[in-house]
Amino acid sequence: MPDFELDEDYQALADTVREFADEVVAPVSARHDEEHSFPYGIVKQMGEMGLFGLPFPEEYGGMGGDYFALALALEQLGRVDQSVAITLEAAVSLGAMPIYRFGTEEQKQQWLPDLATGRALAGFGLTEPEAGSDAGGTRTTARLEAGGGAAGNEWVINGRKEFITNSGTAISRLVTVTAVTGSTGGNGAPRKEISTILVPTDTPGFTAEKAYNKVGWNASDTHPLRLTNVRVPEANLLGERGRGYANFLQILDEGRIAIAALAVGAAQGCVDESVRYARERMAFGRAIGQFQGIQFKIARMQARAHTARLAYYDAAARLLAGKPFKSHSAIAKMVAGEAAMDNARDATQIFGGFGFINEFRVARHYRDSKVLEVGEGTTEVQLMLIARELGL
């Protein structure tokens, strides 16, 4: 029979991150949320713990672990602070992982040691005003110009990107940008050739504009980007020319497991907070946890969290085994995102008026969780992927 118990190493990692989340992250979460301040101290400590390097080999500064190890860490962080969890998730799965998967050895040696230790952060510039799920809407362009002297050929990039995580912090060093580098196909029906290019954040013409004033994830870093005649070496092409979007779809398939784990953490955090509150809150002479209506609501919340956890465990197991996992990661992401949002709503109801006060964790989960049904592929995109895998 399948065994869903964690082995000793995985369990030790989960316990360590859980302790860190409870003792270090949770006490400062409300302050960072209120101030919309990036938690540099927390990020530094996560780097020292090796969390940014969990799925990368030791030769690149990593911990020699795997994607499931990253997911376990994200679940524990997501219980108490989704902003911290998404900072780690985006830095690893969107920032560093494309370089590890598709980069040259030189690119890996240049960038991964700092990214895998949290000394630097990277982002992925995919989404635009008219592009994201629709690759055909990409408007950002990269034109290869012949260079003279030592500079050699250079990509000249122009365009805009939206909702780019980890793109404007003091330790942001790199954004991988999708851009139209030409066209393919003939017979009057050319298709955009989309490639990915590494753009250091200190490159002239690269601008991280004013950070968004978001509903939630207030302590994470998210900016629109403007690229105006940005010039980078031809060698900054990441992967094969024209394969940029296809490669990123692979990155998203993996990333959905990580987002699902974060969402499971949020869903479980709402359960944990509700159980605690139901034992402490008195009404009509007894703890509200003695009322069957509250018991049933929390029981459903636990069932959602448990089911979503099994879904991401299954998707991660398939990934690590080298088996197809596209639809399984889509299922995990959809189920977990909905579980987080549903549990946050129910937890807020259990807390009553206190659930509407930002100092309380469930209130922050209520604001934070909605984007789990939107970011890195909306629920509708997950349904489309699942349907395609069914042959529809």
331-352 per-position pLDDT tens digit: 999 999 999 999 999 999 999 9
Model pTM score? 0.96
Exposure string for 58-91, b = 16+ CB within 10 A, e = fewer: eebbbbebebbbbbbbbbbbbbbbbbbbbbbbbb
Residue 105 CA: distances (Å) to CA of 59, 109, 111, 119, 205: 11, 6, 10, 20, 27
Average pLDDT over residues 57-72: 97
In this prediction, residue 149 carries a pLDDT of 56
Selected residue with higher pLDDT from 190 and 161: 161
Average pLDDT over residues 39-61: 98
Cα separation, 154 vs 373, in Å, equals 39
Domains of the chain: 8-119 (1.10.540.10), 122-241 (2.40.110.10), 246-389 (1.20.140.10)
| Position 71 confidence tier, pLDDT thresholds 50, 70, 90 | very high
- For 124-157, how does the pLDDT look when each residue is reduced to its tens digit (9 = 90+)? 999 998 887 777 789 999 999 987 556 689 999 9
Residue 244 CA: distances (Å) to CA of 181, 192, 196: 10, 11, 5
As a whole-number percent, the residues of the chain with pLDDT over 90 amount to 90
Average pLDDT over residues 288-314: 98
Instruction: Tokens for 324, please give them.
Output: 């197809």
**Adjacent-strand bridge partners of 183:** 192
Confidence check: pLDDT of 329 > 90: yes
- For 15-31, how does the pLDDT look when each residue is reduced to its tens digit (9 = 90+)? 999 999 999 999 999 99
- For 206-246, how does the pLDDT look when each residue is reduced to its tens digit (9 = 90+)? 999 999 999 999 999 999 999 999 999 999 999 999 999 89
**Catalytic positions:** 376
